[in-house]
């Protein structure tokens, strides 16, 4: 092999090693940063065919409709909690901060946070789409077909 | 009536774009001048017709013609006239019309400014552009006609423009962004035309460069405006969310940046040819991919358009035709192209190659992060989202080698460079960069290893290396007056690189030193943040033309002295029943004070979002500086020089 070829071979193989290292690191980082999406019933009953439940402390996203009358606010801070529902069980979300403009009872929201216990989530971010009829698509999918059935869990009007 | 005129003009435009796609290509294939000469008037008429159509839609908005469905859905008689006009591109159909207006505009510009090109190449370029035009005009007419009527039962008043879009940023953000997206169609056309002809020489690169630069600079400004708009209009105080729609615009930008660098090598050294062509194809394909992602509804995003699967299918098919067709052509023609130039391992060619590798890696990261959730869902593995930390950490790692190379590359000669002569001056400037970075950081805190230090180091290195390179050039050219001999494109590079340094510093400083606080305040309460005291003095009801709501007045003090007065609003738009946050921002070069009014709580008290964001302006100023660099490069005389002898020679060859 002449020196030029040798040099090129070295350069190319060096770059290949770097590149594959980079791609590997990237895929690892990607897997570290995946947040699974749950609806309240998936959170309680488990996700997918093998009914995998999230573990406490796991980062996740949850999307559902805010249960009417479930929004409870702290009197002196911005702490707030509310319940989410899709087709069955309810999940409670705690949040400390400003709720988005379109956060309303009875409407769909998505919250990003960590699991505190089996049915409670500490949210770091609450999202509501800038569209009045917005329902997270995942929730719409879960609710599809039983749209006209009244949800199991509603609070009587007037309860805090 | 006027709406029908607009519709008709669009139909004629589609027919004309078909002519533009077929005749010039046929002419250049046969070597006949006649059909090729048709291209220029066809392109100009195409633009004219589209302008008529666009004007018709503007007129419908102007006179509140709610018999047009698109107007009824996106406007309201209470909307001020300037927002009525910008509502034209406020939703899917109208924005597609703006898109084809831009596309025909670029086509017409190419037709007008390509006098110096060989006729045969003109025909090919305009033919390819004609083909792209056909795709988009067909899409507008078949899938998203903005002139559809609501007759006979038309509404009395419109459903109003999305309040988010009733803003100055919205007036200029989409046109600039689309100019960029669509502009890459011209680079694409140059690449395909060269593939058809099988000729890639320095001339070809010199013709393609200004067009690519122009598209890139529009895209830069468009993205920057989008970021700025999101910052003050969405009320979260963030400037980049790694939202799929943002990512869709970042991908063509990254590839476009790689393309302008690779074109430089092709022009100056006659190498990297096949690579450049591939990048040009990729940049335009990613623009198309962006259009597909935004308009098909496959991705959930805060600002995706209203969704329709058939539209997505059309765009996907078009994307596949463009990518598939051009890659096929590439495979068939590219083997004949040889790069003659030789270069050593340590040379500017290799460093620019490194630039391309890092930019493409970044593109790949964005691509994966954006599309991975889509594949994950389609494979039945459940819905996921990719967190911001993924993008942030990888971009952070990529920025280090990228910025190091960026500072170094302008010092290194083409072909080959001995390391020895560079060591002394470079290490001096490196020390200067270290001192500068640590000095700035120590004004904020004791220097510690964090993102701010990293950003400052990289920014200072790029700045110092760039200044050092200019100083070296001055020494070679005989003092400061010699600098006037430098080409405009060199100054463009300097500005672009300084802009990048500014951007990096801005991002790092904002990330590290921003203080954000959500607080609950009564009237008369104050909150302290980073040495600033925010006092809530008044909250009162608002009365706008098409909105109501509340406004809060705040006084800001620092060291007991009044800094400024802030006015934050929370608007309620009754027609769309939407709530909007109008943040109050007090901007200085070194920091932004940012207050957004949240909801009213019991008490009465209010939720307020109070931020102090150091150096956040630098992010947008850096982007503006980069775009300015593009503009200065564009003004380089050599792009306007007519290469007379070469035309004759090329024309003769092509006809042979």
Domain boundaries, chain A: 1-34, 36-143
Chain B residues close to A137, C-beta within 8 Å? 300
In this prediction, residue B171 carries a pLDDT of 83
- Domain assignment of residue B599, yes or no: yes
- Cβ–Cβ under 8 Å, residues B271 and B202: no
Beta bridge partners of A84: A66, A91
In this prediction, residue A134 carries a pLDDT of 44
Q: Smallest Cβ distance to A33: which of B300, B387, B579?
A: B387
- Cβ–Cβ under 8 Å, residues B301 and B226: no
**Whether B374 contacts chain A with CB within 8 A:** no
In this prediction, residue B656 carries a pLDDT of 33
Place of tokens 């630069």: B213
Chain A residues close to B346, C-beta within 8 Å? none
Quick one: which of B93, B86, B109, B245 has its CA closest to B172?
B86
Looking only at the bridges linking them, the beta strands covering B384-386 and B526-529 are: unpaired
- Cβ–Cβ under 8 Å, residues B249 and B187: no
User: Does the CA dihedral B464-B468-B471-B473 come out positive or negative?
Assistant: negative
Q: Residues 220 to 249 of B: which have CB under 8 A from any A CB?
A: 235
Q: At what angle do helices B244-269 and B202-233 cross, to 10 degrees?
A: 160
**Helix/strand number for chain A, H first, E second:** 3, 7
Q: Smallest Cβ distance to A22: which of B361, B581, B599?
A: B361
- Cβ–Cβ under 8 Å, residues A54 and A40: no
- N- to C-terminal Cα separation, chain A: 82
**Whether B393 contacts chain A with CB within 8 A:** yes
Q: Smallest Cβ distance to A37: which of B368, B382, B608?
A: B382
Q: Tell if the CB–CB gap between A101 and B579 is shorter than 8 Å.
A: yes
Chain A residues close to B598, C-beta within 8 Å? 98-99
- Domain assignment of residue B126, yes or no: yes
CA torsion angle A22 A23 A29 A30 (round to 10): 160
Distance from CA of A20 to the nearest CA of B (A): 11
Backbone angles phi, psi at B173, to 5 degrees: -60, -55
Q: Is-cis flag, bond preceding B273, omega within 30? A: no
CA pair distance B526, B537, nearest whole angstrom: 9
Q: Smallest Cβ distance to A29: which of B162, B394, B519?
A: B394
- Domain assignment of residue B504, yes or no: no
Q: Smallest Cβ distance to A36: which of B361, B365, B382?
A: B382
**Whether B379 contacts chain A with CB within 8 A:** no
- Cβ–Cβ under 8 Å, residues B319 and B390: no
CA pair distance B88, B533, nearest whole angstrom: 43
CA pair distance B443, B436, nearest whole angstrom: 11
Q: Which of B382, B393, B573, B581 to mutate to test the interface with A (most CBs of A within 10 A)?
A: B382
CA pair distance B582, B596, nearest whole angstrom: 7
Distance from CA of A149 to the nearest CA of B (A): 25
Please name the residue of chain A whose CA is at the shortest distance from the CA of residue B522.
A76
**Whether B387 contacts chain A with CB within 8 A:** yes
Residue numbers of chain B with a pLDDT score lower than 70: 297-308, 339-340, 446-449, 641-656
Looking only at the bridges linking them, the beta strands covering A59-66 and A34-38 are: parallel
Structure tokens at B512: 């590290």
What is residue B535's three-state secondary structure? strand
Q: Smallest Cβ distance to B345: which of A7, A23, A75?
A: A7
Please name the residue of chain A whose CA is at the shortest distance from the CA of residue B388.
A33
Distance from CA of B574 to the nearest CA of A (A): 12
What is residue B487's three-state secondary structure? coil
Q: Tell if the CB–CB gap between A15 and B300 is shorter than 8 Å.
A: no
Which letter does DSSP use for residue A53 in this model?
Answer: P
Q: Tell if the CB–CB gap between B361 and A101 is shorter than 8 Å.
A: no
What is the second-level CATH architecture of the domain A36-143?
A: Beta Barrel (2.40)
Chain A residues close to B599, C-beta within 8 Å? 98-99
Q: Tell if the CB–CB gap between B598 and A33 is shorter than 8 Å.
A: no
Task: Tell me how many residue pairs between chain A and chain B have CB atoms under 8 A apart.
Answer: 93
Mark which of B166, B199, B234 sits at the end of a domain. Answer: B166
Q: Smallest Cβ distance to B520: which of A26, A78, A138?
A: A78
Quick one: which of B37, B118, B27 has its CA closest to B650?
B118
For residue B607, give every residue at least 6 positions away whose Cβ sits within 8 Å of its Cβ, in sequence order, or none: A78, A98, A99, B518, B519, B520, B597, B598, B599, B601
Count structural domains, chain B: 2
Long-range contacts of B163-166 (CB under 8 A, 24+ apart): B163/B547, B163/B571, B163/B573, B163/B576, B163/B578, B163/B580, B164/A130, B164/B233, B164/B234, B164/B303, B164/B578, B164/B580, B165/B83, B165/B86, B165/B87, B165/B90, B166/B79, B166/B83
Question: C-alpha angle with apex B569: B564 to B572, nearest 5 degrees?
Answer: 175
Question: C-alpha angle with apex B249: B244 to B254, nearest 5 degrees?
Answer: 115
Residue numbers of chain A with a pLDDT score lower than 70: 1, 129-160
Can you tell me the ipTM of this complex?
0.73
What is residue B581's three-state secondary structure? strand
Beta bridge partners of B612: B515, B593
User: Does the CA dihedral B476-B482-B486-B492 come out positive or negative?
Assistant: positive
Segments forming the whole domain that contains residue B18: 1-166
Distance from CA of A154 to the nearest CA of B (A): 23
- Cβ–Cβ under 8 Å, residues A63 and A109: yes
Please name the residue of chain A whose CA is at the shortest distance from the CA of residue B582.
A101
Q: Which of A30, A95, A107, A128 to mutate to test the interface with B (most CBs of B within 10 A)?
A: A30
In this prediction, residue B651 carries a pLDDT of 39
Neighbour-count burial for B196-223, b at 16+ CB within 10 Å, e otherwise = bbebbeebbbbbbbbbbbbbbbbbbbbb
Long-range contacts of B475-478 (CB under 8 A, 24+ apart): none
Structure pTM?
0.90
| CA distance readout (Å), B497 to B406, B427, B456, B490 | 8, 19, 15, 11
CA pair distance B216, B287, nearest whole angstrom: 12
Q: Tell if the CB–CB gap between B598 and A99 is shorter than 8 Å.
A: yes
Please name the residue of chain A whose CA is at the shortest distance from the CA of residue B393.
A29
């Amino acid at each position: 092999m002449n020196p030029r070829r040798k040099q090129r071979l070295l350069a190319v193989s060096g770059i290949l090693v770097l590149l594959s290292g980079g791609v590997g690191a990237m895929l690892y980082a990607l897997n570290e940063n995946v947040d699974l999406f749950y609806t309240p019933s998936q959170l309680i009953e488990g996700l997918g065919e093998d009914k995998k439940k999230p573990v406490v402390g796991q980062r996740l996203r949850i999307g559902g409709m805010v249960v009417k009358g479930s929004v409870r606010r702290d009197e002196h801070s911005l702490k707030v909690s509310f319940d989410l529902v899709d087709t069955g069980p309810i999940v409670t979300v705690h949040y400390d901060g400003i709720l988005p403009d379109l956060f309303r009872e009875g409407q769909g929201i998505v919250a990003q946070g960590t699991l505190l216990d089996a049915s409670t989530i500490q949210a770091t971010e609450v999202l509501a789409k800038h569209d009045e009829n917005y329902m997270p698509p995942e929730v719409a999918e879960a609710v599809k077909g039983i749209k006209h059935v009244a949800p199991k869990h509603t609070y009587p009007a007037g309860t805090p | 009536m006027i709406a029908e005129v607009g519709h008709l003009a669009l139909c004629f435009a589609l027919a004309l774009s078909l002519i533009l796609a077929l005749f010039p290509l046929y002419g250049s294939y046969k070597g006949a001048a006649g059909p090729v000469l048709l291209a220029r008037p066809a392109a100009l008429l195409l633009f004219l017709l589209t302008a008529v159509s666009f004007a018709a839609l503007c007129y419908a908005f102007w006179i509140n013609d709610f018999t047009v469905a698109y107007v009824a859905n996106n406007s309201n008689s209470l909307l001020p006239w300037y927002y009525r006009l910008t509502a034209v591109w406020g939703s899917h159909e109208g924005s597609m019309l703006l898109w084809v207006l831009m596309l025909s505009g670029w086509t017409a510009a190419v037709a007008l400014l390509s006098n110096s090109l060989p006729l045969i190449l003109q025909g090919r370029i305009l033919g390819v552009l004609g083909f792209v035009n056909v795709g988009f005009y067909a899409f507008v007419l078949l899938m998203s006609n903005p002139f559809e009527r609501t007759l006979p039962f038309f509404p009395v008043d419109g459903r109003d423009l999305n309040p988010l879009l009733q803003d100055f940023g919205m007036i200029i953000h989409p046109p600039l962004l689309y100019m960029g997206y669509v502009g890459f169609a011209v680079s694409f056309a140059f690449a395909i035309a060269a593939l058809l002809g099988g000729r890639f020489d320095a001339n070809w690169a010199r013709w393609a460069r200004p067009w690519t630069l122009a598209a890139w600079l529009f895209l830069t400004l468009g993205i920057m405006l989008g970021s700025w708009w999101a910052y003050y209009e969405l009320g979260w105080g963030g400037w980049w969310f790694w939202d799929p729609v943002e990512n869709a615009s970042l991908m063509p930008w990254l590839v476009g940046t790689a393309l302008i660098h690779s074109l430089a090598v092709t022009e100056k050294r006659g190498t990297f040819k096949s690579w450049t062509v591939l990048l040009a194809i990729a940049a335009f394909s990613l623009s198309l991919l962006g259009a597909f992602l935004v308009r098909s509804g496959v991705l959930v995003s805060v600002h995706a358009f209203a969704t329709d699967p058939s539209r997505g299918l059309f765009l996907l098919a078009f994307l596949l035709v463009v990518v598939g067709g051009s890659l096929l052509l590439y495979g068939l023609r590219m083997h004949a192209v040889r790069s003659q130039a030789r270069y050593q391992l340590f040379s500017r060619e290799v460093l620019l190659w490194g630039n391309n590798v890092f930019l493409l890696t970044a593109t790949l990261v964005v691509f994966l992060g954006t599309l991975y959730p889509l594949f994950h869902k389609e494979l039945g593995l459940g819905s996921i989202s990719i967190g911001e930390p993924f993008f942030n950490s990888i971009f952070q790692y990529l920025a280090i080698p990228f910025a190091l190379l960026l500072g170094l590359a302008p010092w290194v000669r083409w072909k080959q460079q001995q390391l020895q002569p560079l060591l002394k001056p470079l290490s001096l400037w490196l020390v200067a960069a270290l001192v500068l970075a640590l000095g700035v950081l120590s004004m904020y805190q004791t220097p510690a290893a964090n993102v701010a230090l990293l950003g400052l180091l990289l920014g200072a290195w790029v700045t110092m290396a760039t200044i050092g390179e200019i100083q070296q050039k001055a020494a070679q050219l005989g003092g400061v007056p010699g600098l006037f001999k430098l080409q405009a494109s060199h100054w463009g590079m300097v500005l672009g690189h300084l802009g990048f340094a500014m951007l990096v510093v801005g991002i790092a400083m904002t990330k590290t030193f921003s203080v954000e606080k959500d607080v609950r305040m009564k009237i008369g309460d104050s909150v302290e943040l980073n040495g600033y005291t925010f006092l809530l003095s008044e909250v009162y009801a608002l009365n706008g033309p098409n909105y109501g709501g509340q406004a809060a007045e705040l006084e800001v003090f620092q060291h007991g002295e009044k800094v400024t007065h802030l006015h934050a609003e929370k608007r309620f738009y009754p027609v769309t029943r939407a709530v909007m946050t109008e943040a109050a921002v007090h901007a200085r070069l070194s920091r932004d004070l940012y207050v957004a009014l949240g909801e009213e709580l019991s008490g009465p008290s209010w939720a307020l979002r109070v931020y102090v964001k150091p150096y956040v302006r630098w992010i947008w100023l850096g982007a503006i500086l980069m775009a300015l660099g593009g503009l200065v490069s564009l003004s380089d005389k050599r792009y306007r020089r007519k290469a007379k002898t070469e035309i004759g020679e090329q024309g003769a060859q092509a006809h042979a």
